[in-house]
């Protein structure tokens, strides 16, 4: 099983579970780090998984034990346990009743299969949206996109399990001359929330090829009018 490790809100790596204690002793992992693996509902502090002793240097091996002393100690322990059980432990005849689960309670953690299905659904949905972007300029927008790349990341939020950063280029073409009149390099951020991709933030540098000028653009979910690519991708906004 692989475990994701996050530090200060950022995922710093994915490691096999068997390596975590060794990495903690080596100083690669910190006690303030959080961990998550498939099947968990939320991120938890790493010491809850490894225990605080994982950050301690291993003790030297003990000297060879005397087998006769071991046998004697085991016999004494068994005798003491039997005496305590006879004197103090009484059978429990009470009936245990479980409290009813509230409407907001979670009956069981999200299974690994469900986590995989959620990730695959989010990735497939985003892939379809990007494939719909025009690769050549056609009326009425006369805009095409190129070198579009996507990075999808697991987040620390249960409400928003995945986020995506989309980078690429956008060209606006003059339909009369077929020449590019504006070239834009953009970075778009979106969150996967309630089963849909939601627009979050947009940053871009637009170069006007006719006037030889450059403009920096910043936009987010609170701006009155989102950039055109938000509509091209069909991302949900606060206005729809």
Same domain, 21 and 118: no
Residue 26 belongs to a domain: yes
Claim to verify: residue 118 and residue 192 sit in the same structural domain: yes
| Residue range of the domain that includes 41 | 2-55
For residues 148-155, give the mean pLDDT: 91
Do 224 and 135 fall within a single domain?
yes
Q: Residue 237: what pLDDT?
A: 85
User: Tens digits of per-residue pLDDT, 51-99?
Assistant: 988 888 765 555 555 555 555 566 666 655 665 554 454 444 433 333 3
Q: Which residue has the higher pLDDT, 114 or 190?
A: 190
SS3 per residue for the chain: CEEEEEECCEEEEEEEHHHHHHHHHCCCCCCCCEEECCCCCCCEECHHHHCHHHHCCCCCCCCCCCHHHHHHHHHHHHHHHHHHHHHHCCCCCCCCCCCCCCCCCCCCCCCHHHHHHHHHHHHHHHHHHHHCCCCCCCCCCCEEEEEEEEEEEECCCCCCCEEEEEEEEEEEEECCCCEEEEEEEEEEEEEEECCEEEEEEEEEEEEECCCCEEEEEEEECCCCCCCHHHHHHCCECCCC
Read off the pLDDT of residues 170-200 as tens digits, 9 standing for 90 and up.
999 999 898 999 999 999 999 999 899 999 9
pLDDT, position 156: 85
Do both 117 and 228 map to the same domain?
Answer: yes
Asked whether residue 42 carries a pLDDT value surpassing 50, the answer given is yes
Q: How many domains does the chain have?
A: 2
- 64 in any annotated domain: no
In a domain, 184, yes or no: yes
**Domain contains 46:** yes
Residue 47 and residue 149 in one domain: no
How high is the mean pLDDT of the chain?
80
Kindly state whether residues 223 and 151 are assigned to the same domain.
yes
For residue 134, tell me if it sits in a domain: yes
**pLDDT of 148 over the 90 cut:** yes
Asked whether residue 15 is assigned to any structural domain, the reply reads yes
Examine the pLDDT at 34 and tell me if it is beyond 60.
yes
In a domain, 102, yes or no: no
Asked if residue 125 is part of any domain, the answer here is yes
Which one of 3-17, 125-139, 196-210, 226-240 scores highest in mean pLDDT?
196-210
């Amino acid at each position: 099983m692989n475990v994701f490790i996050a530090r200060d809100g950022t995922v710093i790596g994915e490691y096999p579970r068997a390596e975590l204690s060794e990495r903690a002793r080596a100083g690669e992992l910190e006690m303030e780090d959080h961990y998550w693996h498939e099947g968990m509902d939320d991120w938890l502090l790493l010491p809850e998984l490894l225990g605080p002793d994982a950050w301690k240097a291993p003790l030297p091996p003990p000297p060879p034990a005397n087998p006769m002393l071991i046998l004697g100690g085991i016999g004494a322990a068994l005798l003491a346990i039997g005496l305590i059980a006879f004197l103090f432990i009484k059978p429990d005849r009470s009936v245990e009743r479980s409290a009813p689960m509230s409407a907001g309670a979670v009956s069981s953690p999200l299974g690994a299969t469900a986590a995989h299905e959620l990730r695959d659904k989010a990735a497939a949905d985003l892939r379809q949206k990007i494939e719909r972007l025009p690769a050549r300029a056609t009326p009425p927008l006369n805009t095409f996109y190129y070198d579009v790349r996507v990075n999808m990341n697991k987040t620390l939020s249960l409400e928003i399990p995945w986020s995506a950063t989309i980078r690429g280029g956008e060209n606006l073409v003059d339909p009369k001359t077929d020449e590019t009149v504006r070239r834009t390099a953009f970075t778009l951020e979106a969150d996967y929330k309630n089963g849909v991709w939601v627009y979050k933030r947009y940053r871009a540098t637009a170069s006007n090829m006719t006037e030889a000028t450059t403009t920096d653009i910043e936009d987010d979910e609170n701006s009155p009018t989102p950039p055109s690519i938000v509509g091209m991708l069909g991302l949900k906004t606060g206005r729809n």
